Amino acid sequence: MGAKWIWYPSDFELYHNMILHNRREEYDYIFPVMWHIQRPESVCCFSKEVTLKKEQIVFVHAKGMGYVKIGEKKIAPVNTEVLLPAGTYILGAEVTNLETFPALFIDADEVCTDESWVVHFNGAARKHASCEPAFTEAEDDPAVFPFCYQSIVPKSTEEINGGILYNFGVESFGIIAISRTLDIGRIDIYYGESREEALDEKWAYLREHIPAGDEAYTCRARAFRYIYIRSEKGIPSIKAKEEYLPIKDIASFTCDDTQLPAIWDICARTLHLNAREFYLDGVKRDRWVWSGDAYQSYMIGRYLFNDRDITKRTIRALLGKGPYFQHINVINDYSMYMFAAVREYYEATADVQFVLSIKEQLTYLYEFITSRLDEETGYVVARDGDWIFIDWADIDKDGPLCAEQILLYQVYQSMAVIEDICKDYHEDFGIVGRHHYAASSTNAVPFKTKQKENNYLEKAEALKQNILRDFWDKDSHAFIDTYASGKNHITRHANIFAILYDFADEAMQKEIVEHVLHNPDIDEITTPYFKLYELMALGKTGHMAEVQDYIDSYWGGMIDNGATSAWEAYDPKKHGTEHYNMYGDPYDCSLCHAWGSGPIYLLTRYCAGVYPTSPGARTFAIAPDPGRYTFFDTTVPIGTGTVTIHYKDNHITVITDIPGGTLYWKGQQIPVPPNTEITV
C-alpha cells in the first residue's frame, strides 16, 4: 500500500475547516463565522506493533515536535534518523503541533505509516489513524490542501472608466497574479460575478487594494467572472489561474430537449466550483460549509462524479468532535439532515468503517437534539440560540413546526439503521502493557459485549402517531405548519418531507400532490434549495414531465439571463440587475450556488431511475421514467460501477458493468447481468 502521512481522525478536516471559515470576505473586511469552530488536537500519540528482521535506520518525519519511543523508552527526537533494533515491539511517537496539527510519516522497508497505526491524545479512545490519498511523500504537507491549478485567459478586455475590465466568459475561482512597476502606484481590483458588479466600485462584494510597489503581487483565491482593475498610473499586466480539484464526471445525460445540454453544463460547473476542501454553499458568498446545502451536494455529487472522499471530509468537518452545545450551523434542521446524510451515504457505499469512525459524534449529536425536545410533547422546539430555518418562506413558526418533527422522525429512522450497522462491530485493538496497537486488519470485527437496545423505531412510530394527530388536516388533505397558533397555515415544506421520508403512505401522498403540490393557492417555493425537494417529491410520485418542464423554465430562465453557473435564487418576474439583489445589497445573490445544481440529481435519480436497493448497491434498481422525453441517453454511476441507458421510441436498452441490477419497465422486472445488453 505504501507509506502515508497519518494523523488523529478528523484533525485534517478540523484544521482545514478552521482555515476555510476564517477567510470569508465582504467588501473590505473579514466576516467571521457565526458558529463555534473546533480546533484539531495539539498533541497526538502514534503507535504500532512492528516486527523487524534486522536493525535498520529510518527517518521519522513529523509535523511538529516530539520524540520517538520503543515501548515506554524514549529513543530519539522526531524529524531525525532513528536506529530501530530487530525484533517485535511497540514503536511509538508523541508529537505536538500548536500551529496546524500533529502528523507522522515513516517510509522504510519494514515500517510504514498507514491506517493500521493507532492514534490517541491525552488518554482518549484509541483509533485507527486517518490519512488522505494526496499525502504519500515525505515532502508533502497535510496543512496545505492539494488543489490543482491551470492557467485561464480572459475572453475579452475593455478599457472603461480609466481602468481595464477583463471578461473570463464563465464563473471561475482562482488566483490573480499582478506584474507591476513602482511608478504604477496603488492598484484597485474589483471582482464580479456580473459585469455590473465588477464595475461598481462601491458595491462590488470582493475587492483588493494593493499599495504601491515594484514586486509581483498574488491575490488570494476568489470567485470571479469579470475583473476590473484601476491603478494610479498605467495598467499592470495580470495572469489568472483557476484553482480546482481534479474530480472527473462519470454521469452524462442527453435527450431531445435542446435546452438541456446547457442546463446540465451550468449545474455541473456549479457543483465542481463548490467541491473544494468540503462542499461549500457558494464560491463568492458565503464560502462556508452549511449542512443543509451540503446534504444536497452529497446527493448530486454521488450521481455526477461519485467521489466518496469529499463527502466524508464534509461530514467530518460538520460533525466536529462533540459533545455539542449548539446545533450544526446553529440550525435545528441542519443538525437533523446529518443523520439522513450518513444513512444515505451508507446505502450508496456500504462503507461500514466510515460509519463506525463517526458513530461517537453521531451519538453525541443525537443526544444533543433529543435533550432539547419539548418535555411534554417530545417535539422539536426553538431553544435559546436555535435557528428554526427550513427555508426562506412565509412559514407559521409560532409553535412546534411540522417540518421539523418529520425531520426528527427521520433522525429516529436513521439512528435505527446506524445502530444496526454498528451493533456487531467495534474497532479491535490489542493491548501490550500501557500501549494499544491495531489489529492486523483495519476492518471492523464482531463486538461481543452487550449493546444498548435499539428502540429508535419505536420512538419513530410514537412520534409519527403524534404528528398525524396534531398536524394532519383531513379537510385540507395536508399537513399544517403548526397547531399552536390556531391559523392552520399550510405551506409545501412539511408535505414534501412527508413524501420524501416515506412518512406518508401512498394514499396520503396522492392527497398531498393533488391538494398541496398542485394547488396554486399554496405559496410557491422560491429557492432552488427547497425547490429541489419539491421536484424530488414530484419525481418520486410519477410526475416526471412536470419536473422536466420546470427544469426548462427555471434553469433555462437563468441561462436566458446570462448564467454560466446556477444561481442561489432566480425569480422570473425580475429583470436585469434585479436578479443580483439579495439581503438588501445589490450583488449579494450568489451566482454560483451549489444548491442550484439539482437537475443533475433529478435526471439521474428519477428520469433514469437508478438507485441502490441494498447497501453499496449490491442490488440496485433501473426504473426509467422518460416523462415527456421521446429520447435520452445517460450514464449513471452506481456502487462501484455504472449503468448506461438508451431510450427511444418507447424502447429501453440497458447495460451495466456490475452485478445486482434489475430493470423495472412497464410492469416488468428484468434482471440485468453485468456486461450484457438488455433491450425491452
pLDDT in tens, 216-254: 999 999 999 999 999 999 889 999 999 999 999 999 999
Please tell me the distance from the alpha carbon of residue 525 to that of residue 534, in angstroms, as a whole number: 8
Could you tell me if 25 and 104 lie in one domain? yes
Residue 31 one-letter amino acid: F
Evaluate if residue 1 carries a pLDDT over 90.
Answer: no
Give domain status of residue 22, yes or no: yes
Please tell me the distance from the alpha carbon of residue 322 to that of residue 38, in angstroms, as a whole number: 9
Question: pLDDT class for 622, splitting at 50, 70, 90?
Answer: very high
Residue 267 one-letter amino acid: C
How many C-beta atoms surround the C-beta of residue 209 within 10 A?
A: 10
Which contiguous run of DSSP H or E holds residue 657? none
Could you tell me if 15 and 115 lie in one domain? yes
Please tell me the distance from the alpha carbon of residue 637 to that of residue 289, in angstroms, as a whole number: 25
In DSSP terms, which residues pair with 191 in a beta bridge? 206, 227
How many C-beta atoms surround the C-beta of residue 364 within 10 A?
A: 16
Could you tell me if 65 and 193 lie in one domain? no
How many domains are there within the chain? 4
Residue range 298-310: mean pLDDT, rounded = 98
Question: Measured over all CA atoms, what is the biggest interatomic distance in the chain, rounded to whole angstroms?
Answer: 82
- Read off the C-alpha cell for 657: 458493468
CATH of the domain at 482: 1.50.10.10
Res 4: pLDDT: 98
3-state secondary structure 220-233: CCEEEEEEEEEECC
Give domain status of residue 361, yes or no: yes
Whose grid coordinates read 398541496?
516
The answer to which of 116-125, 261-270, 515-524, 632-641 has the lowest mean pLDDT is 116-125
Question: pLDDT class for 320, splitting at 50, 70, 90?
Answer: very high
Answer yes or no: are the C-beta atoms of 634 and 609 closer than 8 Å.
no
Give domain status of residue 571, yes or no: no
Give domain status of residue 300, yes or no: no
Answer yes or no: are the C-beta atoms of 262 and 304 closer than 8 Å.
no
Average pLDDT, the chain: 94
Answer yes or no: are the C-beta atoms of 308 and 351 closer than 8 Å.
yes
**Which residues, in sequence order, are CB contacts of 578 under 8 Å at separation 6+?**
none
Could you tell me if 660 and 514 lie in one domain? no
Could you tell me if 179 and 117 lie in one domain? no
CATH of the domain at 226: 2.60.120.260
Please tell me the distance from the alpha carbon of residue 131 to that of residue 150, in angstroms, as a whole number: 26
Could you tell me if 383 and 451 lie in one domain? yes
Could you tell me if 73 and 155 lie in one domain? no
In DSSP terms, which residues pair with 24 in a beta bridge? none
Give domain status of residue 250, yes or no: no
Which of 199, 218, 244 is a domain's end point?
A: 244
Q: Could you tell me the residue range of the domain that residue 107 belongs to? A: 11-128
Res 451: pLDDT: 40
Could you tell me if 81 and 222 lie in one domain? no
Give domain status of residue 511, yes or no: yes
Question: pLDDT class for 150, splitting at 50, 70, 90?
Answer: very high
Answer yes or no: are the C-beta atoms of 354 and 13 closer than 8 Å.
no
Evaluate if residue 384 carries a pLDDT over 60.
Answer: yes
Please tell me the distance from the alpha carbon of residue 558 to that of residue 590, in angstroms, as a whole number: 13
Which of 228, 244, 260 is a domain's end point?
A: 244
pLDDT in tens, 36-87: 999 999 999 999 999 999 999 999 999 999 999 999 999 999 999 999 999 9
Provide the CA 36 distance to its chain's centre, in angstroms: 19
Burial pattern 370-408, b for ≥16 Cβ within 10 A else e, equals: eebbeeeeebbbeeeebebbbbebebbbebbbbbbbbbb
Residue 169 one-letter amino acid: G
Evaluate if residue 435 carries a pLDDT over 70.
Answer: no
Give domain status of residue 253, yes or no: no
Res 507: pLDDT: 97
Could you tell me if 45 and 124 lie in one domain? yes
- Read off the C-alpha cell for 424: 456487531
Could you tell me if 354 and 501 lie in one domain? yes
Question: pLDDT class for 30, splitting at 50, 70, 90?
Answer: very high
Res 438: pLDDT: 30
Strand runs labelled E in 144-236: 148-152, 156-160, 163-179, 187-192, 206-210, 217-218, 222-231
Which of 524, 552, 571 is a domain's end point?
A: 524
pLDDT in tens, 197-207: 999 999 999 99
Give domain status of residue 320, yes or no: no
Could you tell me if 63 and 190 lie in one domain? no
CATH of the domain at 667: 2.60.420.10
Could you tell me if 122 and 153 lie in one domain? no
What value, to the nearest 5°, has the Cα angle with vertex 155 and ends 150 and 157?
115
Answer yes or no: are the C-beta atoms of 512 and 477 closer than 8 Å.
yes
**Which residues, in sequence order, are CB contacts of 321 under 8 Å at separation 6+?**
10, 14, 38, 361
Query: Pick from 540, 534, 545: which is nearest to 598 by CA?
Result: 534
Res 427: pLDDT: 44
Question: pLDDT class for 442, splitting at 50, 70, 90?
Answer: very low
Please tell me the distance from the alpha carbon of residue 466 to that of residue 225, in angstroms, as a whole number: 51
Query: Pick from 332, 346, 377: which is nearest to 469 by CA?
Result: 377
Residue range 421-433: mean pLDDT, rounded = 53
How many C-beta atoms surround the C-beta of residue 541 within 10 A?
A: 16
Whose grid coordinates read 446534504?
295
Backbone angles phi, psi at 355, to 5 degrees: -60, -45
Please tell me the distance from the alpha carbon of residue 516 to that of residue 538, in angstroms, as a whole number: 11
